[in-house]
């Protein structure tokens, strides 16, 4: 039986009809056409599908959609725009932390959740926060640098 699901996505209230077994990633990509969130492994292993639900980074490919009822969901589309780039996006570009870019939306969302909780994360803390996000291209060094750099920028705001 289909169910109504109401939640906030990137600051906008939405209501969608879902099958109770639907996963959050499918609602985002298929129903809401928010394709910035990527499907990698589909098994909770790579982090490409990471979004932020009420401040926590989650793997949307294994996250039941019904769990976001009444929640605030943030995807990469809500992080920044071309006109107003988020400090994390800016630092990722400046530090060369984006190569093929497939892991980037997920990395950004995990990093965002971290920076909401920790103002000055050291390398160890950043590595731990990004441990579930796999990147085939960068070797992680530049990604970690970018997150540190963005934390510095945010602290100056
Ligand atoms: S696609 Fe969700 S963890 Fe890989
Ligand atoms: S930049 Fe290609 S997978 Fe990370």
**Domain end residue (candidates: 78, 96, 125):** 78
Residue 157: its pLDDT value, please?
Answer: 67
The binding-site residues of ligand 2, defined as CB within 6 angstroms of any ligand atom, are 98-103, 135-138
Does 63 lie in the same domain as 103? no
Rounded-to-integer distance, Cα 123 and Cα 141, Å:
10
Rounded-to-integer distance, Cα 123 and Cα 131, Å:
12
* Ligand number, closest to the Cα atom of 139: 2
- In tens, the pLDDT along 45-82 reads 999 999 999 999 999 999 999 999 999 999 999 998 88
What does the DSSP 8-state code read for residue 68?
Answer: G
Q: Which domain holds residue 133?
A: 81-156
Does 89 lie in the same domain as 138? yes
Residue 1: its pLDDT value, please?
Answer: 87
**Domain end residue (candidates: 54, 78, 102):** 78
Ligand 1 atom closest to 49 (CA)? 2
Ligand 2 atom closest to 107 (CA)? 4
Ligand 1 atom closest to 38 (CA)? 1
Residue 3: its pLDDT value, please?
Answer: 95
- In tens, the pLDDT along 97-139 reads 999 999 999 999 999 999 999 999 999 999 999 999 999 999 9
Residue 156: its pLDDT value, please?
Answer: 78
Closest CA relative to residue 51, chosen from 82, 28, 70? 28
- Number of domains present in the structure of the chain: 2
**Domain end residue (candidates: 55, 78, 101):** 78
Query: Is the pLDDT at 145 greater than 90, yes or no?
Result: yes
| Helical ranges in 9-103 per DSSP H | 24-26, 76-79, 87-94
CA of 100 from ligand 2 middle (Å) equals 5
Element (H, E) at 54: none
């Amino acid at each position: 039986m289909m169910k109504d699901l109401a939640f906030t996505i990137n600051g906008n209230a939405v209501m969608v009809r879902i099958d109770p077994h639907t996963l959050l990633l499918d609602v985002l990509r298929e129903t809401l056409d928010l394709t910035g969130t990527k499907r990698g492994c589909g098994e909770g292993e790579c982090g490409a599908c990471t979004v932020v639900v009420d401040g926590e980074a989650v793997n949307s490919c294994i996250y039941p959609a019904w769990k976001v009822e009444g929640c605030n969901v943030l995807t990469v589309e809500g992080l920044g725009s071309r006109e107003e780039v988020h400090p994390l996006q800016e630092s990722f570009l400046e530090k060369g932390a984006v190569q093929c870019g497939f892991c980037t939306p997920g990395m950004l969302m995990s990093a965002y959740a971290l920076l909401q909780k920790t103002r000055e994360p050291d390398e160890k803390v950043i590595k731990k926060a990004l441990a579930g996000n796999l990147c085939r291209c960068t070797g992680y060094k530049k990604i970690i640098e970018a997150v540190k750099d963005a934390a510095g920028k945010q602290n100056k705001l």
